[in-house]
């Protein structure tokens, strides 16, 4: 697959992936993909990542139901970062139950939580 070879994969065979909400424009999360994750993302239309902590393929939302339908996939100038525009199911991308992972803002030497928890993680992952 030639388009995959145009990506500059890291020595570990990964590429950073940024997911942005197609409606709000908010950056929701940052994760990593390997070739398999990217191939499955294209095939299924739903975001798949490589979980570095669990060392396995991760179909985003597989437990929570908070899948991401990919509307657009972009590659940067150096070919070493991808950007996904997604429809975020449930409006929750973060495992803390918030819309996005970037829920802390720098203010005068500290990180301030600015975004509310929309759903209790205990309820999200107890299914």
- In angstroms, rounded to a whole number, what is the distance separating the alpha carbons of residues 81 and 74? 8
Give least dist CB 62 to a copy of itself, A: 18
22 binds a copy of itself (CB under 8 A): no
- Whose CA is closest to 47, among 11, 17, 76? 17
Handedness of CA 40, 42, 43, 46 (dihedral sign): positive
- In angstroms, rounded to a whole number, what is the distance separating the alpha carbons of residues 73 and 86? 9
101, 30 contact by CB (below 8 A): yes
25 vs 56 by CB, closer to a copy of itself: 25
55 binds a copy of itself (CB under 8 A): no
Tell me which of 11, 43, 55, 110 binds a copy of itself, using CB under 8 A: 110
Give least dist CB 104 to a copy of itself, A: 5
101 binds a copy of itself (CB under 8 A): yes
Tell me which of 39, 57, 73, 117 binds a copy of itself, using CB under 8 A: 73
Tokens of 101: 């992972």
Query: Which part of the chain contacts a copy of itself (CB under 8 A), choosing from 43-51, 58-66, 95-103?
Result: 95-103
- In angstroms, rounded to a whole number, what is the distance separating the alpha carbons of residues 14 and 80? 9
3 binds a copy of itself (CB under 8 A): yes
């Amino acid at each position: 697959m030639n388009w995959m070879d145009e990506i500059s994969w890291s020595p570990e065979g990964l590429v950073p992936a940024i997911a942005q909400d197609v409606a709000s424009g908010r950056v929701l999360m940052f994760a990593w993909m390997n070739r398999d994750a990217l191939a499955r993302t294209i095939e299924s239309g739903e975001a798949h990542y490589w979980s570095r902590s669990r060392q396995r393929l991760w179909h985003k939302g597989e437990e929570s139901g908070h899948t991401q339908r990919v509307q657009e996939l972009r590659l940067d100038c150096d070919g070493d970062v991808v950007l996904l525009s997604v429809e975020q199911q449930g409006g929750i991308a973060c495992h803390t139950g918030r819309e996005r992972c970037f829920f802390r803002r720098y203010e005068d030497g500290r990180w301030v939580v600015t975004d509310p928890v929309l759903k209790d993680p205990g309820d999200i992952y107890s299914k």
